[in-house]
Structure 1
Amino acid sequence: MELGAVLSKGALAGVRVVDFTWVRAGPQSTRIFSMFGAEVIRIEWPLNPDIIRLGSPRYSAAGVTPGLDTNGDFNNFNCNKLSVTLNVRSPSGLDLIKRLIGISDVVIENFSSRVMEDWGLGYEQLRQANPAIIYVSMAGFGHSGPNRDYDTWGPAVQALSGLTFMSGLPGKPSAGWGHSYMDHTGGYYGAMATLAALHYRSRTGQGQYVDLAQVDAGCTLTGAAILDSTVNGRRTDRDGVPSGNRTHWPGTPLTDTYRGRHAAPHNAYRCAGGGRNDWCTIACFTEEEWRALAGAMGSPAWADEPAFATLLQRLEHQEELDRRIQEWTIELNKYEVMDRLQAAGVPSAPVQSMVDRVENDPQLQHRGAFATQAEHPVIGRRIYEGMPMRLEQAPWAIWRHGPLIGQDNDYVLRDVLGLTAEEVDGNDAEGVFWPRNMVRKETLA
């Protein structure tokens, strides 16, 4: 399919993004643009590639020798994007990058604050090539302040913003998170900031510099906890807040917290199957929900015992309450529990593994969350993450795999930049498009 035909249909059709992003936070941001029809052109160099291209072999397809074009994580985060290889250390390569930026709308990067300036690609330099350019930086600490030159990764951002401190159980050290959650959150904020700048330019004609700090983005997720501390004088550490699956941890003061109202039952319960993910969550915040749960369980006599008559009683007897409920859930699979309870008006949902989400969840399949497939020339047909929002008139689409490195050199150099065959050959001979000391890819031969 012709690039122009594909890129003319999305909500962001006509927007060109020059993408210097790497790892996850930046690519997550530009992925939103590529999914809605923007032309996103990654600037890459095979001797210093995005480290996700070089990621763990476990993200490569079985039977495929790991290489720059085999990582499934990179493939998913960069679907629909284009890739051009340009040597930023070459004067000719740098000139071509500036020419590309001169006819583009947005530049996005998530390096530490020194990198783009060192390359001669800082905002002040690029606005000379294109005064209307929107230049988005997504460094961990931003580009101002005493920590501006510090490097960060997702887990460090989570720790610095207070999110790690807030996670865990009473009496235990901070648990932290098992995934770089802030990489994704930072990416979403980056996309929002870019869209705001594009809207401003549509009204005023003015481009601008956007300085996003991922640590600041993490702090925005702690608002309720900050209010609880400043207004109520309560700390959000291991003294009972947070309290795991329960809204109240046994043996701690029964006080309202930033997590909201108390509920009992409020836990995850073992279900039939015996697998590590065979659990279903149940939460009853009202007496009506509690009575509905009892009815869905067949109105057992124990549900009418004084120990469970009120919320305060159920909170006091959570161990016994959870044991009794699990005697019922253990006989059903987790989806049966959810379906029965949701039909009765009780909030309930299963604990899902990745396999469950991708292969077994009919709601996510209906929404297209993991249902779209595209053929990759090296690792074969793959499933891609969809987008959680639907635009009725201009829906998102996945039309291509993540790019092979340098896959779109011909299109970018000839069609976008308008280089002649002689100019392409001359620059190529100088190592502007591919390292002279590196075996040339067949796709670029």
Structure 2
Amino acid sequence: MQAVLAVEPTVAGRTAADGMVAQITLDGPIGPAAAEYFDDASKRAVADGAVAIVLRLDTPGGLADSMRQIIAGMLACKVPVLVYVAPAGARAASAGTYILYAGQIAAMAPATHLGAATPVQLGGATPLPKTGNSPASAGSAAKDEPAAGDDAESHKVMNDAIAYIRSLAQLRGRNAQWAEQAVRGAATLTASEAAQQHVIDFVAADVAELLARADGRKVQVGDRDVTLQLKGVSVHEYAPGARTRFLAIITNPTIAYLLLLAGIFGLLLEALHPGAMLPGIAGGICLLVGLYALQLLPVNYAGLALMALGVGLLVAEAANPSVGAFGVGGLVAFVVGSVMLMNTGVPGYGVNLGVIAGIAMGTAALLALIVWLVFRSRRAHPVTGDSAMLVDTGELLEPVEAGGEAWMLVRGERWRVHSDIALPAGARVRVVSRQGLLLQVEPA
């Protein structure tokens, strides 16, 4: 579970500090799994005697609730948290910017960037208020009037986000004006620019340099001041546990979407074929796990309702085939609902459109097959009963006189037949009617 990374000791004449530093890596969208991972790993690190935590960050952003849960854990942590955006090419965008501001030490690797922290609401992006060329004053967030095109809800969300990141900036003594612009105008900075504008503390090429440059700095942990003693300590990687890894898989929007579909169609198969057992059991498990994942994600319930309507119409088409009206309507509702299901404005939280397109194409092909089979069945000749018998032909096994009876072979069976005209043995005749077990025939 723990991999040890060697950190070069010390400067000349100084011994390595006792203890160890825990490293926690958040790589990817910030969501419920990331929040649970940080909470669990930070508590384990403190219990193991870590003197500090390095939070290595590379994220496009994520969910506000999960971000706030992580920041609350950082502020409540009993040891300093050093937030480090790495490796080269990484970013701390959107929610990552807030997390970076919350750390006692904020550092970035070269060729990284941060910013674009404008909040996104469920159902669409929050419009950006129009701002002037001059930076906003410290108290402006609470005094702004909604810009044209804004509604009250988006204005409240914007002001709440601005106040939150400004409070973090003031707590850590960082650039609060730029923090507001990152939220209000989606401003971004590179690592060197962030260091120059006092958004971060410094730029470090790796974890060893991060610890070396942080060594000796005074930081505030809760209500006490702490001097960091980090040179020469060992760094232990705290990997996510099995539960966290499982949560990360099922809260992937595409996986949750597929689990939901697998559950629905598994239960439908069980309903259509009672006693099959396996589809019902697997479908029930998939549906429950998918619903658990959905309640953790930014779900649009209008999209979920459209998906349910679409599945219902497709089932109705399969159970009572029409000319395709139910099927086409169901397919359209299903595809529109699938696209609307997740809030694609939140980075990393949208169902893969390729998966939706593939399922839609497969459903359309199945629908076309059902309609084709329906029309073919309507054109097909009957194969059982009197209707099928009336189009059959057979061969007389013996001659028959006019108005008399004889035996004939039809469909491999011997039937007694009546004919109004005389016919020789071996003649081909067609059945025209049936009265009990006697067939009326005429020359084919």
Give TM class, smaller chain.
under 0.3
Q: Which one scores higher on RCO, CA 8 angstroms, separation ≥ 6?
A: 1
**Largest Rg, 1 or 2:** 2
- Which structure shows the higher helix fraction? 2
- Which structure shows the higher strand fraction? 2
What TM-score comes out, normalization by structure 2 length?
0.22
What TM-score comes out, normalization by structure 1 length?
0.22
